[in-house]
Amino acid sequence: MPIELFALLLSPLAGGAVLALIGHRPRAAEVNAVFSSLTFAAAAVLVARVIESGPLVALGEQLFVDSLNVFLVALTAFVAMTTSFFSRPYMRIEREHRRVTGPGMRLYHSMYQLFSFTMLLVLTTNNLGVMWVAMEAATLTTVLLVALYRTHASLEAAWKYFILCGVGIAQALFGTILVYFAAEKVLGPGTGSLLWTHLDAVKTELQPTVMSIAFVFLLVGYGTKVGLVPLHNWLPDAHAEGPTPISAVLSGLLLNVALYALIRCKVITDGALERPFASALLMGFGLISVVVAAFFLSRQRDVKRMFAYSSIEHMGLITFAFGMGGPVASFAGLLHMTVHSLTKSAIFFTAGHAAQQTGTQLMENIRGLAQVNPTAGWGLMLGTVAILGMPPFGVFASEFLILTTTIAVQPWAAPVLLLSLGVSFAAIFGKVQPLVFGEPTAARLPHPPALVPVFTHLALVLMLGLFIPPSLADWYRQAARLIG
Amino acid sequence: MSAAGIAAQFTELALAVLLAPLLTGWVNQCRAWLQNKSAPGILQPYRVLAKLFQKEVILAHNASSLFRSAPYLIFGSLALSAAIVPTLGTDLPLNEAADAIALVGLLALARLFIALAGMDVGTAFGTLGARREMMVGFLAEPALLMVFFTASLISHSTSLSTIVETIAHRELVIYPSMAFAGVAFVMVSLAENARIPIDNPATHLELTMIHEAMVLEYSGRHLALIEWAASLKLFVYMCIGLALFFPFGIAGGGDWLGLVLALPALAAKLAVGGAALALIEMLSAKMRIFRAPEFLGTAFLLAVLAMLVHVMLEG
Amino acid sequence: MLQHFGPQVINLLAAVLLLLAFAMLSQRRILSLINLFAAQGFVLFLSTALVAALTDQKHLYVSAAVTLVLKVTLLPWILHRLIRRLNVKWDVETLINIPTTMLVGILLVILAFNLAAPISQLAGTVTRSTLGIALASMLLSFMMMITRSKAVPQVIGFLSMENGLFFAATAAVYGMPMVVELGVALDVLVAALILGVFIFEIRERFDTLDTRHLEKLKEH
C-alpha cells in the first residue's frame, strides 16, 4: 500500500476542498502553503521509495510511478510549494491594490490546490483515458484564474485559452479513442486496454495505420497544451494576463506535464510503427516552435509576454530533443525540463514583482529595478542570464548537449537552432538590461516580497549546471532509456 | 415486353392525364380542411379546364409560333415523362429508351419551353417569371439528379424500372441515404411545382409570382393545357417520389393480378401524398425570393450527403 | 431480430447525427441551435442504449443514462437560461455566407471519410463505418465554431464537438471504459458551467458577445 502515493494525491485534493471554504480568510495563504508542503513531503518520500525499489503500481494498476514520471512529480510538487510561498505576500499586495476581491481569493486558493491535484494525477495515472480527463481538468481549473483580474485583456486571454485548448484537447480525446480502438484488438475490451503498462508490453502488435493517425491527433491535442507552433496562440496571452504565481506554474509546470503525456504516447507509437514517424513529427514541430518563438520575441513589449514566448521556444527545444531520441538527447531533454521549470518560475516571480512595484507590465515603463529593490533586480538579471543559456547555469549544460547531438545526428538543424537561440538571446538581454539598470521608476511596496524561492530555484539551477549528483544523473539516464 | 406491360403503359398514361387534375383538387381540398375553410370541391379543376377550353384564345399581336405551340410541347413532354415513370408496373415498353437522366431531361424540356413562352411576348412580368423559373431550375436540377444517382447507386442502374424492382423486392433494410435523399426530393418537388415555400400557387401579387408570372399572357385552350400540364407535373413528381421511396404495390413484369392490385395501391398512396403536401404547405411560410437559393442549396447538400452516406455506410 | 436491425438503426442514427451537425451549421437562430444540440444528445442516448443492448455491456446503460441527463436535459437547460438572461435569442450573423459554409462542410465530410476509411476497414465491429461520420460531425462542429462571431454559438459548437467524440467512442469501439466516460462527462459539465460564467463576464466587460472584440491582445 503506497501511502505516500495516496497522500501525494489526496493532500492537494483536500487542500482544494478546505480552501474553497476558507480561502478568503487572512490565514488562507498560510494554509495553502502548508498543503503544498505536505504534497512535497509526500513526493519526496515517493521519490526515495522509487529510487530504492523501482517502478511501483497501485490502486489495481490505475496508478503507475516509474523513473520518468517520479522526477516530474518531485519537480511539480517542489515548484508548486515554492510558488505557494511566493504567492503569500504577492497576493496580499494584489488584494490591497484592489485588483482581487475576497471571493476571488477563495477561488484562487482552492483552484491552486485543485490544479496541483490534476497535474499530479496526469503524472501518476496509468490510464490514458484518465490522463486525458485530468489534462482537461487542469485547463478548467486555471481558466477562471487567468481571468481573475476581470480586465478586458484577462477575459480575452482566458476565453482564447479556454476555446483553443478545449478544441485542441478534443482532438487528443479522438486520438485516445483511436488508441483504445487499436488496443482493443490486441488486449480485448475493458479498462486494461487503456493502461499504459499493458500497452507498453504489446506495443509492437498494435496496428500501425491506426496508431499513426492516433498519434497525429494526440500530437495536435497535447501539442496545443505544450504550446507548439502553430497551436500556441493562447499561450502568450494566458501566461501574461493571469496573476504571477499562476503564470509561473503555467509556464513552469503545465507545459512539462503536457509534454510528458505526449512522450508517453510517443513511446507506444514508436513501438507500433517501424519508421521514425513520431520522431520526425516531434522534431519538425519542435524546430518550428523554436524559430517562430525566437522571432516573435523581439517584438514584445510586455515583460511577461516576452518570457511566455521564451517558454514556447524552450519547450520547442525540448520537443526537438525528444524527437531526435537517443540516450544523450533524451537525457538533455529531461535535464532541460527541470532547469527550465526552475528558472522560468524564478523569472516570473521577479518580473511579477517588478510589475507590482511599477504598476505596469510594459517593459519600457519599468526601469532601475536593481536600485529600488536589489534582491529583485539582481534576481531578474541572474534568472535572465540563466535562461539564456550562459554557463555555469544548468540551461547551458542541457542546451550544449542538445546542440552537440544535433550536429552529430541532424546537422542541418544545428545552424537553425543556433540562429534562433542567438536571436532570442539578443532580444531578451537587450530588453531586460534597461529594466534592471537605469533610472528607477518603481515605488516601494507595503510588504516585503518573498524572494527566497527565487534564489532557491536559481541556486538549484546553478548546482545542476556545475555538478549533477550521480543518483540524479542515473535517474535521468533510466528515464531517458524509457523514452528511447 | 409482355402484354401486361403494354397494358400497364397505356393505363399509366391515361391515368396520369385524366387523374392529374383530381390530385390537384384533392390537395386544395385538404388544404381547405386544414385551414377550416370550405373547398370548392374535388372536381373543381375539371370544371376550370372545361370552362377554359370553351373560351376564346386571345393572342398578343407580336406572339410568335413558339408562343402558340409551347402549351402543346409542354403538355406533350410532361405526358411522356408520366409514361416513363413506373406507377403501376415495371415492365414498360419504353424502358429501354428512357431512364432517370432522360426523365430529368424531359422535365427540363418542359421548363425550357414555358420559360421561353413567358419571355416571348416581351412583357416585364413574363421575363421576371422566366428568370426566376430558370434560377430555381438551375439549382433544383442538380439536386434532383443527385437524388436519382443515390437511388441508382443502390440498385446499380439508372433505369427507373430496375430501381423500383430492386428497392421493392429487397428485404426490409433501412437505408439512411434514402432517408436523406427523400428529404432532398421533397424539397426539390416543392420548388419545381411552384408550391409554398418557394412560390404560392394562389397568389396574384406580381412580385411574388414565379409560375403565374410566366403564364399571364395565356388564355383559352392554351391556358387550359398549361394548367393541365402543371397538375400533370405535380402528379409526375409524386409518382417519382412513390417509385423511389415507397415502391411497394407496383407490379412486376407480366403480372396481371398485380397490375389490378396496383391501382388501389396507387390511389391510396397518392391520397396520402396529397394530404402530406397540403400539410407542408400549411405549416410553412413563403420564402423571400433571395432565400430560394439557400433552400435549394440545402436540398442539393442533402442529396450529396445521401450519396456520401451511401458510400460510407453502405458501400 | 435485434442483431439484424440493430447495426442498421445505429447507421441510421449516425446519418441523423451528421444531418443535425449540418443543420446546426446552417441555423441562424440561437434558440434552434440549442434545440438541435438537445436532439443530438437524444440521438446519442438512443445509440448508446442500442449498443448496450447489442453487446450486453451493462456499464453502457449507465453511460446512456448519464448522456440523457447531461446532454438532453441539463446542458440545454443551462444554455436556455443563459440566453434568456443575456437576451440573445435571435439572428446570428456568420462570417461566411451559409451556402459557402455548406459547401465547405461537404468537403470536410469527404475529408473525414477518407481519413477514417483505412481505420474502418480494420474494425471488428459491425458499426465501423460510423467512425467516419463521427469524425465528420466533429469537423463540422469545429467549422461552426470558427465561422461564428458570437460567443454562445461558439460554445454550442464546442459542446457538439464533444457529442461527435462521444459517438465515436460508443459506436466505433462499443464504449470506452466507464471511468473514462464518467470523467469526460464531468469535464463537459464543468466546462459548460465555466463557459456560462465566462459569457456573463464578457458581456459585462465588453457590452457585447461578439468575439471579434476579443482579438485586441496582440504584439501592441
Chain B contact probe: residue of C133, C135, C143 with most B CBs at under 10 A:
C133
Q: Which residues pair with C94 in a beta bridge?
A: C148
Give me the residues of C, 103-162, that contact A with CB < 8 A: 115, 118-119, 122-124, 135, 138, 142, 145, 151, 154, 158, 161-162
Cell 459554409 belongs to: C101
ipTM: 0.87
Amino acid present at C6 = G
Position C89 in a domain: yes
* Contact state of C184 with A133 under an 8 Å Cβ cutoff: yes
The domain total for chain C is 1
Confidence of residue C198 (pLDDT cuts 50, 70, 90): confident
Q: Cell numbers of C136, please?
A: 465528420
> Are residues C119 and A209, on separate chains, in Cβ contact within 8 Å?
yes
pLDDT of residue A442: 63
In a domain, A33, yes or no: no
Specify if C217 maps to a domain: no
Q: Which residue matches cell numbers 407490379?
A: B251
pLDDT at residue number B86: 84
Q: Are 3 or more Cβ–Cβ pairs between C and B shorter than 8 Å?
A: yes
Return the pLDDT at A122: 93
Cβ-contact B16, B75 below 8 angstroms = no
Tell whether omega for the bond before A392 is within 30 degrees of 0, i.e. cis: yes
Domain with C175, as residue range(s), is: 2-210
| Interfacial residues of C (vs B; Cβ cutoff 8 Å) | 5, 8-9, 11-12, 14-16, 18-19, 22, 26, 98-99, 102-103, 105-106, 109-110, 113, 129-130, 132-133
Report yes or no on C216 lying in a domain.
no
Bridge partner list, C148: C94
Are A and C close enough to touch, i.e. 3+ CB pairs under 8 angstroms? yes
* Cβ-Cβ contacts under 8 Å for A178 (sequence gap 6 or more): A210, A211, A213, A214, A217, C119
Question: Does any domain span residue C218?
Answer: no
> Does A189 sit within 8 Å of C168, measured CB to CB?
no
Report chain A (484 residues): mean pLDDT per 10 consecutive residues: 81 87 82 89 88 81 84 91 88 81 85 92 90 90 86 85 88 89 81 83 84 91 90 88 89 92 90 84 92 88 89 93 88 90 90 80 76 80 87 86 89 89 89 80 66 84 82 82 78
Give the best residue of B298, B309, B310, B311 to mutate against chain C (max C CB count within 10 A). B309
Contacts of B172 (CB under 8 A, 6+ apart): none
Nearest to B176 among C11, C102, C132 (CB): C11
Q: How far apart are alpha carbons A311 and B242 in whole angstroms?
A: 65
Position C39 pLDDT exceeds 90: yes
Q: pLDDT class for C29, splitting at 50, 70, 90?
A: confident
Residue A167 lies in a domain: no
Nearest alpha carbon to residue A151 among A244, A248, A241, A246? A241
pLDDT at C176 (0 to 100): 75
Yes or no, beta carbons of B304 and C98 under 8 Å apart = no
Q: Amino acid identity of B70? A: A
Residues spanned by the domain of A416: 276-484
Does residue A26 belong to any structural domain of this protein? Answer: no
Decide if C135 and A173 are in contact by the 8 Å CB cutoff. Answer: no
**In the prediction, which pLDDT does C71 show?**
87
Tens-digit pLDDT string for chain B (315 aa): 677 778 778 888 888 899 999 999 999 899 888 888 888 888 989 999 999 999 999 888 888 899 999 999 999 999 999 888 888 777 777 777 778 899 999 999 999 999 999 898 888 888 888 988 898 888 899 999 999 999 888 888 888 888 888 877 776 667 788 888 988 999 999 988 888 777 777 766 666 677 888 888 888 899 999 999 999 999 999 999 988 888 877 776 666 777 788 888 888 889 999 999 998 888 887 777 777 888 888 888 889 888 888 887 775
Q: Which of C12, C18, C109 sits opposite B174 (nearest CB)?
A: C12
Enumerate neighbours of C (3 or more CB pairs within 8 A): A, B
Sign of CA dihedral B83, B89, B92, B96: positive
Which residue does chain A place closest to C143, by CA atoms?
A167
Taking CA–CA distances from A214, the nearest residue in chain C reads: C119
Query: What is the pLDDT, as a whole number, of residue A189?
Result: 76
Asked if A147 is an interface residue toward chain C (Cβ–Cβ < 8 A), one would say yes
Q: What are the DSSP calls for A5-44, one per residue?
A: HHHHHHHHHHHHHHHHHHTTSTTHHHHHHHHHHHHHHHHH
C173 and A159 within 8 Å at the Cβ level: the answer is no
Model pLDDT, residue B256: 75
Q: In this structure, is residue C145 part of a structural domain? A: yes
C196 Cα to chain A: minimum distance (Å):
12
Strand partners, A195: A127
In a domain, A168, yes or no: no
Would C118 be classed as within a structural domain? yes
What is the pLDDT, as a whole number, of residue A241? 86
Beta carbons of A46 and A65 less than 8 angstroms apart? yes
Q: Which residues of B touch C (CB under 8 A)?
A: 173-174, 176-177, 179-180, 293-294, 297-298, 301-302, 304-305, 308-309, 311-314
Q: If pLDDT is split at 50, 70 and 90, which confidence band does C89 have?
A: low
Residue with cell 450529396: B304
- Split at pLDDT 50, 70, 90, the class of C220 is very low
First to last CA, chain B: 33
pLDDT of residue A255: 93
